[in-house]
């Protein structure tokens, strides 16, 4: 919707118009500043930060976004995210390998589309079943895909080891293999996909998804195409998760390894959106930050406090338990996630300043 259109329709009275456009401008400005800051991070951050923290954080945000479109917006729960990541990774790997003349963004997008199509097939049961039963069927997809990539050597170009090294990343003659290059590739992809997704959820498609989520019987009675809506959600979701999977393999790990796309990964992504906030774009980044930064902090804290006095294995188990407890605490405290928590804190702050 154009800015002019928004104002003439949404503005009832002059005050409404100014508040609306000021807020829009403020939002656009802050997004711009944030992007500039993110793009200039490689100038200051060391390789450890880029490799071990920021790249996985951005990719985790992208996978969370993908699952959130399906689960948070369209209300279809899935535990197949790891599987769709592996489809994206293996598809992109084979495209880079077999069609090296394709530019990198095209290979990434095609890999995502292939993952999206697999998602449509995996989403077919959603036309008949929902809730826990659908979770079980997406779980089957997860296991099937893991088995497929282990079983058939063609996908990994008959590599003898279970992990295969990723081809060289380059775009427009620039080598993107350095930490900064991989970070910028990831950042650019995340920004573009997030912008498109944010548009999509506010569009007719997003409204269809949310209608299905809130009340699917009423949706079909008022003529909303429920089945097509669900399959579109599976397509877009798996497409985004597939792109994220390819980035995970090429920009983060440097190898394509089916083991890094197992059920644990699917759970991690689901936790990220539950903690971040279902049905929120911002929530994906907050949830991913929680999932990536907190274990690192707990790790530092653990080694700092106990300093080798405790068995590292024990410490790791303790961290996992603490992490789980934090998740439970969060869900009780704020079932709508960090995004809701943050927006409430923000409104309180604004009202305090205005007072």
Partner 1 sequence: MSGPILQLRDVSLSFRGIKALNALSFEVACGEICALIGPNGAGKSSLLNIINGVYRADSGSVTFNGEQFIRIRPAHAAHLGVGRTFQHNALFRHLSVLDNVLAGLIRHSRTTLVEHAFGIGRDRRETREFNRWADEIIGFLDLTGHRDTVVGTLPYGVQKRVDLARALVGRPSLLLLDEPMAGMNQDEKSEMSRLILGTNARLGTTIVLIEHDMSVVMGLSHHVVVLDYGRKVGDGSPEQVRKNPDVIAAYLGTAH
Q: Does 236 bind partner 1 (CB under 8 A)?
A: yes
Nearer of residues 87 and 231 to partner 1, judged by Cβ? 231
Structure tokens at 329: 């605490």
Q: Does 100 bind partner 1 (CB under 8 A)?
A: no
Specify the DSSP element, H or E, that contains 12.
Answer: none
Determine the Cα–Cα distance for residues 312 and 83; give it in Å rounded to an integer: 30
Q: Does 15 bind partner 1 (CB under 8 A)?
A: no
Which residues, numbered 245-304, are part of the site for partner 1 (CB under 8 A)? 279
Q: What is the DSSP string of 41-77?
A: HHHHS-HHIIIIIIHHHHHHHHHHHHHHIIIIIS---
Q: Does 313 bind partner 1 (CB under 8 A)?
A: no
Least distance from partner 1 to the Cβ atom of residue 126, Å: 17
Nearer of residues 207 and 259 to partner 1, judged by Cβ? 207
174, 199, 300, 320: which one binds partner 1 (CB under 8 A)? 199
Q: Where are the alpha helices (DSSP H) in the chain?
A: 3-10, 14-39, 41-44, 47-48, 55-68, 81-98, 104-123, 132-151, 179-202, 204-214, 216-221, 226-247, 263-276, 281-306, 312-333, 337-354
3, 196, 301, 325: which one binds partner 1 (CB under 8 A)? 196
Which residues, numbered 204-233, are part of the site for partner 1 (CB under 8 A)? 204-208, 210-211, 213-215, 217-226, 232
> In DSSP terms, which residues pair with 255 in a beta bridge?
165
Structure tokens at 45: 């951050």
Nearer of residues 224 and 298 to partner 1, judged by Cβ? 224
Determine the Cα–Cα distance for residues 88 and 109; give it in Å rounded to an integer: 9
Nearer of residues 14 and 223 to partner 1, judged by Cβ? 223
Least distance from partner 1 to the Cβ atom of residue 211, Å: 5
Stretch that binds partner 1, among 96-104, 192-200, 285-293, 296-304 (CB under 8 A): 192-200
Q: Does 23 bind partner 1 (CB under 8 A)?
A: no
Q: Does 2 bind partner 1 (CB under 8 A)?
A: yes
Give the 3-state secondary structure of residue 163: strand
Least distance from partner 1 to the Cβ atom of residue 70, Å: 14
Determine the Cα–Cα distance for residues 258 and 164; give it in Å rounded to an integer: 10
Q: What is the DSSP string of 206-220?
A: HHHHHHHHH-HHHHH
Q: Does 106 bind partner 1 (CB under 8 A)?
A: no
What is the C-alpha radius of gyration for the chain, rounded to an integer number of angstroms? 21
Least distance from partner 1 to the Cβ atom of residue 225, Å: 7
Least distance from partner 1 to the Cβ atom of residue 134, Å: 20
Q: Does 1 bind partner 1 (CB under 8 A)?
A: yes
- Which residues contribute to the site for partner 1 (CB under 8 A)? 1-2, 5, 9, 12, 196, 199-200, 203-208, 210-211, 213-215, 217-226, 232, 236, 279
């Amino acid at each position: 919707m154009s800015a002019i259109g928004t104002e003439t329709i949404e503005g009832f009275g002059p005050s409404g118009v100014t508040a609306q456009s000021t807020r829009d401008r403020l939002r656009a400005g802050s997004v711009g500043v944030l992007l500039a800051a993110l793009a200039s991070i490689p100038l200051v951050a060391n390789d450890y930060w880029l490799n071990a923290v920021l790249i996985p954080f951005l990719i985790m945000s992208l996978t969370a976004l993908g699952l959130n479109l399906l689960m948070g917006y369209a209300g279809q729960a899935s535990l197949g995210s790891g599987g769709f990541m592996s489809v994206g990774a293996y598809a992109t790997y084979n495209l880079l390998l077999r069609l090296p003349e394709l530019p990198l963004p095209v290979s990434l997008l095609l890999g995502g589309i292939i993952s999206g199509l697999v998602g449509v097939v995996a989403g077919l049961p959603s036309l008949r079943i929902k809730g826990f039963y659908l979770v079980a069927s997406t779980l089957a997809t997860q296991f099937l895909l893991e088995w497929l990539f282990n079983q058939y050597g063609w996908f990994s170009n008959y590599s003898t080891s279970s992990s295969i090294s990723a081809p060289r990343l380059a775009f427009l003659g620039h080598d993107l293999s350095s930490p900064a290059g991989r970070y910028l590739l990831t950042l650019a992809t995340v920004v573009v996909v997030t912008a498109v997704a944010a548009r999509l959820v506010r569009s007719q498609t997003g409204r269809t998804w949310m209608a299905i989520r809130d009340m699917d019987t009423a949706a079909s009675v008022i003529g909303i195409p429920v089945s097509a809506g669900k399959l579109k959600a599976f397509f877009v979701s798996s497409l985004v998760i597939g792109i994220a999977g390819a980035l995970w393999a090429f920009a983060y790990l440097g190898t394509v390894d089916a083991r890094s796309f197992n059920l644990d990964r699917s759970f991690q992504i689901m936790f990220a959106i539950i903690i971040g906030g279902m049905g929120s774009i911002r929530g994906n980044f907050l949830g991913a930050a929680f999932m990536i930064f907190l274990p690192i902090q707990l790790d530092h804290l653990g080694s700092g406090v106990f300093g080798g006095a405790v068995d590292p294995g024990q410490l790791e188990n303790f961290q996992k338990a603490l992490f789980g407890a934090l998740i439970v605490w969060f869900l009780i405290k704020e079932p709508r996630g960090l995004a809701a928590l943050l927006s409430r804190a923000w409104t309180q702050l604004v009202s305090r300043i205005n007072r």
